[in-house]
């Protein structure tokens, strides 16, 4: 009988007021891709944080190769051949990509060879379709590019246990297929791969075995031949979810947002947005597809007033909003949900009430120079209830919440402002299928209320379900635009990689 690489036995983890993991058993075998499913807050991230040395279990033990181990730090886990790409990245913003990747390197003594390290990283990036400049500083990268750095770091350290949390969120369909091929090669070479994903189609395609968590407990497991989608959904959330939504494409109003030759610089002081022309109508969801780092963040920040445009014009409901301040954009009716929910969208050390106050501290939550705490608390409770935000207390720092619940709190705050234009970047990244259904319904409700919506997503399935039109971004340009009814996955995937119909690369 094959000995498991990892055995987690009766793992329990308690935090103040909550049991995150409750007597969980999990075994990871060489040559196997093991999917871990569960709602946000179900305990998946906590369990994997214990396995990677970030947390110590309150009870239970971990066996590596049949021997019990106690990890004092992530370095111990890495030394045992365990690597993970976390949902919230573990990167040092002021270091370069290469410096972050070699931080925990145990080989090489005191003398490292920077050029060799850079060459190795570039080779890995090319091999796995995860290109990123090794010399760039992390603070200059978008969220998707940071995730690529995390994946490259794990691959660079040759981990035998590979834990990936939503690894396909920043990949084109072609790159996702390539990643799956490489993960299978790693498993065939004797690695154990843990694949955390909310995309059941990916789990069905890739996983050899699946374990489902709910409320900190294991609710079931299944081998590949026994995986049934309805059964997995039932184990995850205890009910059925909708797979399709009704959307009305015929009641879109007049053009309310017009971009005319808009350009902007990125954080590296090079062209991030290149002469973009765009028109969005009231009640229309305009989907923007593309691999993260191709101008989506720059476009959103220009529209939110957070980044100056270097040319062109922005007209919203007949008003010239070019290079207006964020407060003026908010007053005009523009809401913005950024991709970095815990760095830019919310303040980690503040509680939910204070994070809700941030949006309208000088409006409905103030009276003169005084903050109306009662109104803010009541509004926060409504958001928590309406958006099913799971948290210990509205007075705890939001950094203690899971990624999906952070996203629901952020979305709730922005939707509560009743915007005329909603700019949403990757709204369901890291959310479970129940939360995805809720968020999608909310966006469609905003559409019915004639809110114009710009939806930035790498999930073509999500865009197909929600959007009326889709534009594909590459290198700061919109290379193509289609009605959703004419979407072709291969064609759009090619444009996401910069390949035009003529067969050449886009500029």
- Together in a domain, 498 and 411: no
- Together in a domain, 54 and 116: yes
Is residue 178 assigned to a domain?
Answer: yes
Q: Answer for the pair 237, 39: CB distance below 8 angstroms, yes or no.
A: yes
Instruction: Decide which of 467 and 368 is more confident.
Output: 467
- Together in a domain, 80 and 149: yes
Q: Give the list of residues 6+ apart from residue 444 with CB closer than 8 angstroms, or none.
A: 245, 246, 247, 285, 466
- Together in a domain, 138 and 16: yes
Q: Compute the distance between CA of residue 86 and CA of residue 166 in angstroms, rounded to an integer.
A: 9
- Together in a domain, 177 and 315: no
Q: Extract the tokens encoding 83.
A: 């690597």
Q: What is the DSSP string of 401-459?
A: S-HHHHHHHHHHHHHTT--SEEEEESTTTT--HHHHHHHHHHHHHHHHTT-EEEEEES-
Q: Extract the tokens encoding 435.
A: 């939360």
Q: What is the pLDDT of residues 130-179, one digit of tens each?
A: 789 999 999 888 766 887 888 888 888 888 899 988 777 656 666 678 77
- Together in a domain, 211 and 281: no
Q: Answer for the pair 98, 60: CB distance below 8 angstroms, yes or no.
A: no
Half-sphere exposure in the Cβ direction for 78 (13 Å, CA):
19
- Together in a domain, 425 and 401: no
Last residue of one domain, picked from the residues 217, 237, 257: 237
Last residue of one domain, picked from the residues 237, 272, 300: 237
Last residue of one domain, picked from the residues 205, 237, 269: 237
Q: What is the pLDDT of residue 507?
A: 43
For the residues 414-428, what does the mean pLDDT come to? 90
Measured N-to-C along each axis, helices 403-415 and 373-386 cross at an angle, to the nearest 10 degrees, of 120
- Together in a domain, 412 and 424: no
The answer, yes or no, to whether residue 112 has pLDDT greater than 80, is: no
| Residue 127: CATH number of its domain | 3.40.50.300
Q: Give the list of residues 6+ apart from residue 242 with CB closer than 8 angstroms, or none.
A: 437
Domain carrying residue 346 = 342-416
Q: What is the pLDDT of residue 501?
A: 63
> How many structural domains does the chain have?
3
Is residue 1 assigned to a domain?
Answer: no
Q: What is the pLDDT of residues 124-137, one digit of tens each?
A: 888 777 789 999 99
From 369, 333, 301, 392, select the one nearest 15 (Cα to Cα). Answer: 392
pTM attached to this predicted model? 0.66
> What is the chain's mean pLDDT, rounded?
86
Q: What is the pLDDT of residue 503?
A: 47
Number of residues that make up the chain: 507
Name the one residue in this structure whose structure tokens are 């750095």.
149
The answer, yes or no, to whether residue 438 has pLDDT greater than 50, is: yes
150-164 core/surface letters (b: 16 or more CB in 10 A; e: else): bbbbbbbbebbbbbb
The answer, yes or no, to whether residue 403 has pLDDT greater than 60, is: yes
Q: What is the pLDDT of residue 470?
A: 94
- Together in a domain, 11 and 107: yes
Residue 504: pLDDT band with limits 50, 70, 90: very low
Q: What is the pLDDT of residues 244-271, one digit of tens each?
A: 555 555 678 899 999 999 999 998 889 9
Lowest pLDDT segment from 97-106, 187-196, 250-259, 473-482: 97-106
For the residues 23-48, what does the mean pLDDT come to? 89
Q: Compute the distance between CA of residue 507 and CA of residue 500 in angstroms, rounded to an integer.
A: 10
- Together in a domain, 325 and 437: yes
Q: Give the list of residues 6+ apart from residue 246 with CB closer than 8 angstroms, or none.
A: 444
Q: Extract the tokens encoding 500.
A: 């035009």
Q: What is the pLDDT of residues 292-329, one digit of tens each?
A: 788 999 999 999 999 999 989 999 999 999 999 998 99
- Together in a domain, 495 and 360: no
- The SS3 call for residue 227 is coil
- Together in a domain, 255 and 305: yes
Instruction: Decide which of 457 and 12 is more confident.
Output: 12
């Amino acid at each position: 009988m094959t000995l498991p690489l990892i055995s987690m036995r009766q793992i329990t983890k308690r935090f103040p007021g909550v049991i995150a993991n409750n007597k969980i058993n999990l075994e990871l075998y060489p040559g196997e891709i093991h999917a871990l499913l569960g709602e946000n807050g179900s305990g998946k991230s906590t369990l994997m944080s214990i396995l990677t040395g970030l947390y110590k279990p309150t009870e239970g033990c971990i066996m590596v190769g049949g021997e019990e181990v106690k990890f004092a730090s992530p370095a111990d886990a890495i030394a045992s051949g365990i690597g993970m790409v976390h949902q919230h990245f573990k990167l040092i913003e002021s270091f370069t990509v290469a410096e972050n990747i070699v931080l925990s390197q145990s080989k090489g003594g005191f003398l490292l060879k920077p050029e060799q390290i850079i060459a190795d990283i570039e080779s890995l990036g090319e091999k796995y379709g995860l290109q990123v400049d090794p010399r760039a500083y992390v603070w200059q990268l978008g969220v998707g590019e940071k995730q690529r750095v995390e994946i490259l770091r794990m691959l660079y350290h040759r981990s035998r246990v590979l834990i990936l949390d939503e690894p396909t969120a920043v990949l084109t369909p072609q790159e996702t297929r390539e990643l799956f091929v490489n993960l299978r090669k790693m498993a065939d070479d004797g690695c154990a791969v843990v694949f955390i994903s909310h995309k059941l189609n990916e789990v069905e395609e890739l996983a050899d075995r699946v374990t489902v968590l709910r409320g900190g407990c294991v609710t079931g497991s299944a081998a590949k031949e026994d995986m049934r989608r309805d059964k997995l959904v039932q184990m995850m959330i205890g009910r059925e979810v909708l797979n399709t939504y009704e959307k009305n494409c015929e009641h879109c109003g007049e053009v309310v947002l017009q971009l005319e030759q808009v350009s902007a610089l990125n954080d590296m002081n090079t062209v991030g947005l290149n002469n973009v022309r765009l028109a969005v109508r009231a009640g229309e969801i305009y989907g923007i597809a593309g691999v993260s780092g191709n101008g989506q963040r720059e476009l959103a920040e220009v529209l939110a007033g957070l980044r100056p445009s270097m040319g062109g014009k922005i007209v919203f409901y007949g008003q010239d909003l070019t290079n207006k301040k964020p407060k003026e954009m908010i007053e005009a009716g523009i809401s913005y949900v950024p991709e970095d929910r815990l760095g830019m969208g919310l303040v980690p050390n503040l509680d939910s009430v204070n994070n809700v106050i941030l949006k309208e501290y000088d409006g409905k939550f103030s009276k003169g120079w005084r903050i109306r705490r009662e109104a803010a608390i009541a509004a926060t409770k409504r958001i928590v209830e309406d958006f099913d935000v799971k948290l210990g207390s509205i007075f705890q720092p939001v950094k203690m919440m899971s990624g999906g619940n952070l996203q629901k709190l952020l979305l709730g705050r922005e939707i509560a402002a009743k915007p005329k234009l909603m700019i949403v970047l990757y709204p369901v990244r890291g959310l479970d299928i129940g939360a995805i259904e809720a968020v999608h319904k909310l966006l469609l409700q905003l559409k019915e209320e004639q809110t114009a919506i710009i939806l930035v997503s790498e999930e073509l399935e999500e865009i197909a379900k929600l959007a009326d039109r889709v534009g594909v971004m590459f290198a700061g340009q919109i290379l193509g635009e289609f009605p959703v009814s004419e979407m072709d996955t291969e064609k759009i995937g090619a444009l996401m990689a910069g390949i035009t119909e003529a067969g050449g690369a886009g500029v």
